[in-house]
Amino acid sequence: MPTTIRLTTMPGKIQKGRVFDALVLDLFGPSLGCEEITIGKAQEVAPALKRFGDQIRSEHPDASFKVMITVAKGNRKPTGFDAAQQSGAFGERAFLRAEDADGTPVTPAPKSRAAE
């Protein structure tokens, strides 16, 4: 049975600490994009999410964001969806940048095309 899901970006970052890492999301920040897709199996979410995130990253190379996944109202989640989402198998955090507590980037940001 097909399921409609919505992929939406939420600005955020991973803040590295000495003891733990914190996921910091800007809940009321601007979304860089959203897309509705129809899937048949939970395994179809990860490739669709990667394609969507890559597209947003190409349009906004300096952005740090998490991709949020929501199932459309009235749709049932495919088998294995919850387990895959809880384990991080969809890759929702793949587009987040990490920084130290003082704001220093831990991983270098890709060069902007405008700088070339």
* Domain assignment of residue 87, yes or no: yes
* Domain assignment of residue 99, yes or no: yes
* Domain assignment of residue 100, yes or no: yes
Find out whether 56 and 65 touch, Cβ atoms under 8 Å: yes
pTM for this entry: 0.82
Whether the per-residue pLDDT at 101 is higher than 80: the answer is no
Six-digit token string for 99 = 């920084």
- Mean pLDDT of all residues in 95-111: 75
* Domain assignment of residue 116, yes or no: no
Please count the structural domains in the chain.
1
* Domain assignment of residue 77, yes or no: yes
Whether the per-residue pLDDT at 114 is higher than 50: the answer is no
**From CA 48, how far away is CA 78, in angstroms rounded?**
15
Which tens digits make up the pLDDT trace of 21-67?
888 899 888 899 999 999 999 999 999 999 999 999 999 999 999 99
Which domain, by its residues, includes 75? 3-111
Which tens digits make up the pLDDT trace of 66-76?
999 999 999 99
Q: Which of 96, 106, 92 is closest to 45 using CA atoms? A: 92
* Domain assignment of residue 44, yes or no: yes
